[in-house]
Structure 1
Amino acid sequence: MDTLLKVENLQTYIGQYHILQGISFEVKKGDVTVLLGRNGAGKTTTLRSIMGLNPPSQGKVCYKGSEIQGLSTYKIANLGIGYVPEDQGIFKDLTVEENMKVAMKKQDTETLERLEWILQLFPDLKKFWKKPGGLLSGGQKQMLSIARAYLNNNQLLLIDEPSKGLAPIMVEKVMESILEMKKQTTIVLVEQNFMMASTLGNRFFIIDDGRTVYSGGMSALKEDEQLKRKYLGIA
């Protein structure tokens, strides 16, 4: 499989704090690659560094073979990388319809057909099409955030903690939607819910104290109780 994204020795500071101290991983086209680790390990900062929101001080981020570190965030997004932040990033005062229109780069036939597919995938969004985003439930906001990132046929999606704060039934719905999107795009997923991560993921990279410390196939990690206990706190 082709490598779509390659991160090499990423180093990122936030203020005086050296958050990322050597993050390296590869993402194969068509895979769901999961970044795992305890809270504060550097997973969110890794995604933000890829998007240029927390620009790295050292290291490389290569997308489709070209280096993108140092580019502005909007230029990185225009290359075909969608980002679903941990805080969802929707416009709470805008309706669901307006949120989707703001995210839409162009209104051609392909995009409009994609929108119809998304509304079938997320029927709650169609149901509350004219409702302000701020009045949606937590799960519906997460669906809207994912839908906005997926709308423009991005070839890579970076999704940060999609299950955070959601009821189990909503976690199931979000999982189902990501499984459907997995058929058409490549995903980097940050997720604390190991059941969700292990169901969706093909490969994993464990981040600890700002460094990549372990990687492999998700099926192997499911069976490795020692590794899960040491780095993920899963008994």
Structure 2
Amino acid sequence: MADPISPPELDLLVVSPHPDDAEISVGGTILKSKQAGLKVGVLELTNGEPTPHGSPEIRAKETAAATQVLGLDWRGNLRLPNRSLQNTLEARAALAGVFRLSRPKVILAPYWEDVHPDHVAASQLVDDARFWAKLSKTDMPGERYWPPTMYYYWSIHLRNHPKPSFVLDISNTLEQKIDAIRCYESQMLVGRPTEFPTVLDDIRDRNRYWGWAIHTAYGEPFASREEIGLPLLPTLSTD
């Protein structure tokens, strides 16, 4: 895996608390962005271990396989502590340094409400690191930078979904998204029910619901704390 302190410049950067969160929540968006020719990266904050059927070595191998399916331009890991992720000054500086070096046009971060404490801490950490990335007179790497756009994605742990700001149509990337998630065998398959509904069925059905909500087959929802500007009314777009 790539060194997290030396990412290339990216169009889209997904910040993921653990390996597999990016695939589960925004795998279709990642694939659609790659189809559009964008440079896409994923930064994990932790290695996700310990888990009942995983290990750091197993998780690294699974993440590498999923990275190939997604066709990512870069993937890194800050190696912060799993299960006790905190928005410390050191973590904030490390993440802000990645933002300054990768200079993403869009950041995707975990939604700020979640039953998993790591996801809540990750959301606040991304918010604060985004601000820190623009500070002058620091010892962080790279030139000061303010990532212009940030959206928040739902986690698999979130049960009571708020109304999203928008839903992205992922109808043509859903199956490849499921292939990427399936790479995480220790988390998705081992020790899990094998009869319907499996965890993969649950993920597919959630994406089906959001697709139904926007009159397509599958979708991924996002929230925004900031106004979203459009060059043209969506239904009048020529794209």
Fold in common (TM above 0.5): no
Please, what TM-score do these two structures have when normalized by structure 2? 0.29
Greater relative contact order structure (CA < 8 Å, 6+ sep): 1
